[in-house]
Chains A and B, each alone.
Chain A
Amino acid sequence: MNYFPDEVVEHVFDFVTSHKDRNAISLVCKSWYKIERYSRQKVFIGNCYATNPERLLRRFPCLKSLTLKGKPHFADFNLVPHEWGGFVLPWIEALARSRVGLEELRLKRMVVTDESLELLSRSFVNFKSLVLVSCEGFTTDGLASIAANCRHLRDLDLQENEIDDHRGQWLSCFPDTCTTLVTLNFACLEGETNLVALERLVARSPNLKSLKLNRAVPLDALARLMSCAPQMVDLGVGSYENDPESESYLKLQAAIKKCTSLRSLSGFLEAAPHCLSAFHPICHNLTSLNLSYAAEIHGSHLIKLIQHCKKLQRLWILDSIGDKGLEVVASTCKELQELRVFPSDLLGGGNTAVTEEGLVAISGGCPKLHSILYFCQQMTNAALVTVAKNCPNFIRFRLCILEPNKPDHVTSQPLDEGFGAIVKACKSLRRLSLSGLLTDQVFLYIGMYANQLEMLSIAFAGDTDKGMLYVLNGCKKMKKLEIRDSPFGDTALLADVSKYETMRSLWMSSCEVTLSGCKRLAEKAPWLNVEIINETDNNRMEENGHEGRQKVDKLYLYRTVVGTRMDAPPFVWIL
């Protein structure tokens, strides 16, 4: 390749798009490193504190698309205090100063302010795509800036964010000249929506393929929207309560029939089940169905809908579907690749929940299944062994038995053998979440067999430090390890400090690690940020004599090239 001029090499690199591959290319030699960095347009930063904007811009001056992730995964479950960090403003400020031609920004678990959004909207003339997932800190005023100032906006995709809805007129801030929208997702907004502005916007957006509405958009508005956007591919229905005899329902039925490109359906945030049949005519085309927010639709109606969906590849659903419902899925959806079954009753003990039988049925009926997230009441080793045999192609396997420490409900044994069978059979497994009663044995299996495992979530599991050591020593590709309420301590933490350089991050909460253990780790590994999140009583940790042996409530450590971050709140100690 050294015989080719740089432009030719660069042209070859254009065909290499995955981040992993481009990172690998840049390591081959200095010349390739140089060519690669000037031609790189998309950059993915899995932990915003692993580097900083200055270094990013120095290395990739031609940046067009940036993905940033902030808080650790367990922040989703309220384990990380709100003010912990993950602020996007410094990034946007730096990007704006550098005049880089930013076109796409994708953020996950970050704190975004209206000020950031305004700055973003004014600084990049060609800005096209904004995707915010599980972010917080902004209001509809920020959205108004984006709408008003981004003249070539293509995507505005807000997924599960906490947005302060000022009930303003952000939708009417899109100028009449804005006709480029392809994606508009505001399902997570709680407030009222200006329906007139919305309908006008949809009517003048001929490229609109993905539209996800919030609760405040009623059925008759939906009917009108669908009538003027029959090219729709991905639809998120808002409020879906209506009388099936009414005129708007009839109009909706007619509009749906014309949407022959519709492949993905979601939403139904408030839904009267009997109206689902309006969608039956297009079900045979659906590849993706998300009914996981439709708490009011019960098993039989879900089943009636799913029976029409023979081409389904992705299904997100509530456990109210029941084992019987999952059997219907298994016999109908032969193309199924991804399944998520969420718990519908989070407070009491639900009788409509699913068990190991549903999981076995799915594994038996769906040969292409590679990703599963399954919340259930109970599990057995035998079932897991069967699932492993049926589906050796799992890439993601996440099982959550709702009651912590619950054993095999038939044999009362730990579930070590079941999960062991999964990791042994599924040679491509990249992500695994464990639950139920588990001893060190399961970690022995994981360390031995899970060679491709990149992310592991552990809760209420294991007996001794050996468990964690099996994983750290065995899983060569481990990137993210998150552990809660498990008896792993300093011995495991400190056994191989260099391991953490090969990982993105480690989270340990309510485990047995002590303050002195963490301090020793920080001393041995200056290229790590070792953060202690201590919300309870700052002073207690400093008490004389017992300081070192104090157990740490929450530990989060990650590799970084830029040292201690400056924006940590007082309850976060960076050792």
Chain B
Amino acid sequence: MDEFINLKETELRLGLPGTENVCEEKETVSCCNNSNKRALPSGSENETESSTRKTETSPPRKAQIVGWPPVRSYRIKNNIQTKKNETDHEVQGSYVKVSMDGAPYLRKIDPSCYKGYSELLKALEVMFKFSVGEYFEREGYKGSDFVPTYEDKDGDWMLVGDVPWEMFLCTCKRLRIMKGSEAKGLGCGV
């Protein structure tokens, strides 16, 4: 057992030091030893909680036991239909990822928690310890090296603040605080 533990410590992994890789495969809890119990279909032993992305390369879903969970087929159909209508977001719940150039890791926020742009930007400033400058309709953000941008539904990078708040909430997929020279392209006047 000791050997095993040592091996783990010298293992090369990606990730910040001090964090542990969460084991992605859960074992089924073995029920009381019971020959009477019917075995569950083997597919249900691999429950992966990691991925919520709706891509085609996502890990195989848990094998479906017929009629489980006990939800009316009418409700399941409705659920699927509604999900089909959603655009393919990288949004989990209403949270979006926020990255800042140069920061070692990303954060996540729920933009709909804020009442408008000023609240949102203030929160970002606190989170990443920077200041964003002043927004001008024509020239963009002035007075800072940092420019808040977001990726919209079409995949384009847009300046935060141009569109009405409600529209922004609907179209924002992720946020990125650009810094320095790259930011200049979005009309940042230093």
Contacts and interface: CB of A to CB of B under 8 A. Distances in A.
Given A299-B93, A404-B40, A437-B29, A344 B70 contact: no
A375 B69 CA distance: 9
B28 A405 contact: yes
B107 interface: no
A245 B164 contact: yes
Interface stretch (B79-87, B153-161, B172-180): B79-87
B1 interface: no
Interface string A279-316: 00000000000001101101111000000000000000
A191 interface: no
A342 B75 contact: yes
B108 to A, nearest CB: 12
B47 A76 contact: no
Given A351-B52, A407-B29, A76 B70 contact: yes
Contacts of A74: 67
Interface in B11-44: 28-29, 31-32, 34, 36-38, 40, 44
Given A77-B68, A293-B82, A296-B82, A348 B75 contact: no
Contacts of A269: 78, 82
Contact of B36 (A296, A351, A352, A487): A487
Interface residues of A, number: 61
A274 B166 contact: yes
Contacts of A36: none
B80 to A, nearest CB: 8
A346 B93 CA distance: 15
A547 interface: no
A430 B156 CA distance: 57
Contact of B74 (A160, A295, A487, A510): A160
Nearest to B36: A487
A78 B69 contact: no
Contact of A300 (B76, B112, B170): B112
A5 interface: no
B94 interface: yes
B78 A293 contact: yes
B67 A78 contact: yes
Interface in A402-417: 402-407, 412, 414
B118 interface: no
Given A270-B82, A270-B85, A78 B74 contact: no
Contacts of A350: 52
Contact of B79 (A160, A344, A457, A487): A344
A559 interface: no
A402 to B, nearest CB: 5
A510 B166 contact: no
Nearest to B79: A295
Nearest to A460: B40
Contacts of B68: 77, 404, 459
Interface in B41-88: 44, 47-49, 51-52, 61-62, 65-76, 78-79, 82-83, 85-86
B110 interface: yes
Nearest to A487: B36
A433 B166 CA distance: 43
A293 B85 CA distance: 13
Contacts of B69: 343, 346, 375, 400, 402
B166 to A, nearest CB: 6
Interface in A366-422: 375, 400, 402-407, 412, 414
A346 B82 contact: no
A526 B6 CA distance: 70
Nearest to A268: B82
A307 to B, nearest CB: 14
A349 interface: yes
Contacts of A343: 69, 71
A301 B164 CA distance: 19
A79 B78 contact: no
A52 interface: no
26 contacts: A76-B72, A78-B73, A134-B72, A160-B74, A162-B74, A188-B74, A269-B78, A270-B82, A274-B112, A274-B166, A292-B75, A298-B94, A343-B69, A343-B71, A344-B79, A346-B71, A346-B79, A349-B49, A350-B52, A352-B92, A352-B93, A400-B69, A460-B40, A463-B32, A464-B36, A512-B36
Given A245-B164, A350-B52, 6 more contacts: A160-B74, A245-B166, A272-B170, A273-B94, A292-B75, A293-B78
Interface of A: 74, 76-79, 134, 160-162, 188, 243-245, 269-270, 272-274, 292-293, 295-296, 298-301, 320, 342-352, 375, 400, 402-407, 412, 414, 433, 437, 439, 457, 459-460, 463-464, 484-485, 487, 510, 512
Interface of B: 28-29, 31-32, 34, 36-38, 40, 44, 47-49, 51-52, 61-62, 65-76, 78-79, 82-83, 85-86, 92-94, 110, 112-113, 164, 166, 169-170
